[in-house]
Structure 1
Amino acid sequence: MAEGDMDPELARRLFEEGASLVLLGVPEGTELGIDYKSWQVGPRFRGVKMIPPGLHFLHYSSVWKDREIGPRMGLFLSLKPRQVLLAHWDAKEEDLKFSDDDDEVGRVAAGLRDLDPFLGPYPYEIMRKWVSLTDRLTFEVASGLQPLSGRVCSFSDVVPELRLPLTKDREEHNLPRNDTECQSMQEGLDRLPRMKQQAGTELRFSHIPKQTYPPGATPAQITQFSMDHSYALERLLEANYKENPLHVLGELQFAFVCFIIGNAYEAFEHWKRLLELLCRSEAAVRARSALYLGLIAVLYRQLAEIPPDFFVDIVSQQNFLTNTLQHFFQFTSGPEVDAVLRKRAEGFKAHLTKKFRWDFDVDLEDCAPVVVELPEGVTMD
């Protein structure tokens, strides 16, 4: 990170008003970053200075003895002007431990000018991109979605669902006494204990209802709500974002950041499911134009930032993205839709068609499963 390219007036203002992260004891070679930028820690590194106030994502990966990079960990921070946060590296946990000792933090803050040569300036060139990807995400929403452990991890901490150390217990659950009892690798895999995430390490995303129709729905209503997911979307908004439904866009941004920067695959899965729910809710498109105008802006920025290797997977998985957006564009083209939203959606569709050469005009009926008529007497057994 270098200050040389920054406007002198901006540099002075950030030096005076910016926050500082003092990170002591971080091993040399550790991969550490903030927001959309990362670097390898050098021998003189003591933290980051001149950080614009607001929401940020600090992330890091320890380096093991064989120089392999460990799993990425990260956390969202809300920084105030001139705030100083102090953390020490815990070698045993390979994690940063933030100090809550006000006296210690005060001493560090008082000596900040002495630390200045060892603090790298915030990479201001990525600030515009970072803000565009998180402009709908508040710290309150982010802290409510972060794991209780306070860390977003690229690899989940897992433990056995059942702890069965005794032979008698293992026999009751059909688990082998030892490795030699398995006759094949598949048998061994099938008999491994079920695992679950360590309590407190799970991302706390909003629950997306699997049942898209209300209790007691008639067959006709079940069919209707299976095509239009507005009922399920309204339940999610009521349960999680009653005060401000637009904050669901913040959750979409949170999931995207945790996936793209935090490398958390479960966040990618939630991003897909939440996006599909939003795009396949026809009645909501008509009723909530502000929400969907915001969705277009969020998606426009996100699709511009997806790395090519991820992008292929996102599009190719059963044509997920093109099919999902095709429903959305079909819904926004109706006469009952707000005129501004309809025009914005048309422009977004044209942009995606030109940039990615996606065809949104294929009849959705062509994407339906093909029913194959079998000859009489032939079965699928």
Structure 2
Amino acid sequence: MDSETALKLVRHGVTLLFLDVPPYTLLGVDTQVFNPGPIFKGIKMIPPGPHIVYYRSSSREGNGFSPIIGFFIDAGPSEVIVRKWDYQEERLVKISEEEEERYTLAVKNLEFDRQLGPYNLANYGEWKRLSNFITKSSIKRLEPIGGEISVVCENDVVRNTPKTSMEEALDKQLNIDNSATSFRKYQTKGCYYTTIPRLGKCKGVSVQELTSLNLDKTQLLETLLAKDYGGSENLLLGELQFSFVAFLMVQSLQAFFQWKSLVSLLFGCTEAPLHTRTQLFTKFIKVIYYQLKYGLEKDSVVETGLALFDDSRLSVDIFVHHLFKDFLSLVQDGSVVDGDLLSWTRKFMKLLESKSRVEV
């Protein structure tokens, strides 16, 4: 990249200025991870728009890590976001408005340019495919008070929820410490996800009609879209992406449960995909295709240092396979099926067969 182009990207892009980050801290933006050295002061050339920032502090020897803390941002062109490391709390904190103005001016005068690591634009397309429905409004709607997401700060309800063997394995893998109260002083208890009922309920209907409602979750989907998403399909897909990213990057179990609930809801519909919500399901299959493609590719996960899909891979495959099998039959056996929906469904089937350990 020539210097003129690089300078334009620096001036137009978002800058994260992180002051006093200790060595061995793992710090990530989207699908990219940075290992701060002695002169590290942040990241530059970040494309404007939604991103996730996540980090975990380390022991002085670099052989022990605390739970991950993450937060979403939606920054405009040339915006500078400043955080400073608080050694007592072991996290990044905001600074005073006066200090922020001073540091922002210094960044725009390129005083920190040599101490800022460049965002790898070659990987930006990968992030866009994981986040194209996440917007500023969806972040504001879902993020906890204060914005910070961490597994140790989530509701006790999440911790006490009956778990499958996969979820118990995740608990163990993430080293959940219920006595970790240091975060609870400064954090809220979780994101404001939409409540997804496991079973549809409706007063005044027969047992047969109620059974039908629960076999086909189309009516439940329509109710949720109208009541909780203001009729916006994209807002629902944004929550699906938000929860997946928070699960994979921040290791949030609350996010995993929400992602699982939304996937179960959508794959549980039989009327909507072929008739009333074909465009939604075409978009949904594309979203989950890129999620599973990223999550099941070991190289991508190792790159982030968060190999959640590695040890639990078989269970993830079985969960998705179990739901997708009936959906695949529904689409393939339909008398009239949208071409894009059929194409992406077959593409998703090939992905599962090539990347996972189960046959569709």
TM > 0.5 fold call: yes
CA distance in 1, matches of 2:287, 2:156: 36
Find the residue that maps to 1:266 and give its secondary structure.
helix
User: Which of residues 71, 94, 97 is equivalent to 2:93?
Assistant: 97
Shift of 1:214: 1.9
Find the residue that maps to 1:203 and give its secondary structure.
coil
| Greater relative CO (CA pairs within 8 A, separation 6+) | 2
Query: Mind listing any 5+ residue stretches in structure 1 that lack a counterpart?
Result: 1-5, 161-191, 361-381
CA contact (8 A) 1:314 1:320 kept: no
Find the residue that maps to 1:60 and give its secondary structure.
strand
CA distance in 2, matches of 1:343, 1:29: 45
| Cα deviation 1:325-375 (Å, max 9, x = unaligned) | 112212223125434423432343345335547433xxxxxxxxxxxxxxx
Two-structure CA RMSD over aligned residues (Å): 2.7
Q: Which has the higher helix share?
A: 2
State how 1:64-83 maps to structure 2 within 5 Å.
64-65=59-60, 67=62, 68-83=64-79
1:292 aligns with 2:288: no
User: Which of residues 174, 196, 199 is equivalent to 1:208?
Assistant: 196
Which residue pairs with 1:33 in the alignment? 28
State the number of aligned residues: 321
CA distance in 2, matches of 1:40, 1:311: 22
Identity of aligned residues (%): 30
The 3 A distance-change label for structure 1 pair 152 and 346 is same
Find the residue that maps to 1:148 and give its secondary structure.
coil
State how 1:147-158 maps to structure 2 within 5 Å.
147-156=144-153
Shift of 1:8: 5.0
CA contact (8 A) 2:190 2:254 kept: no
CA distance in 1, matches of 2:47, 2:316: 38
- Greater Rg by CA: 1
The 3 A distance-change label for structure 1 pair 226 and 344 is same
Which residue pairs with 2:171 in the alignment? none
Shift of 1:204: 1.5
CA distance in 2, matches of 1:128, 1:36: 10
Which residue pairs with 2:84 in the alignment? 88
The 3 A distance-change label for structure 1 pair 357 and 262 is closer
What's the TM-score once normalised by structure 1's chain length? 0.76
The 3 A distance-change label for structure 1 pair 283 and 157 is closer
Where does structure 1 differ by over 6 angstroms across 4 or more consecutive aligned residues?
none
1:249 aligns with 2:248: no
Which residue pairs with 1:61 in the alignment? 56
CA distance in 2, matches of 1:122, 1:317: 30
CA contact (8 A) 1:213 1:231 kept: no
Find the residue that maps to 1:342 and give its secondary structure.
helix
CA contact (8 A) 1:151 1:201 kept: no
Residue identity matched to 1:324: L
CA contact (8 A) 1:213 1:221 kept: no
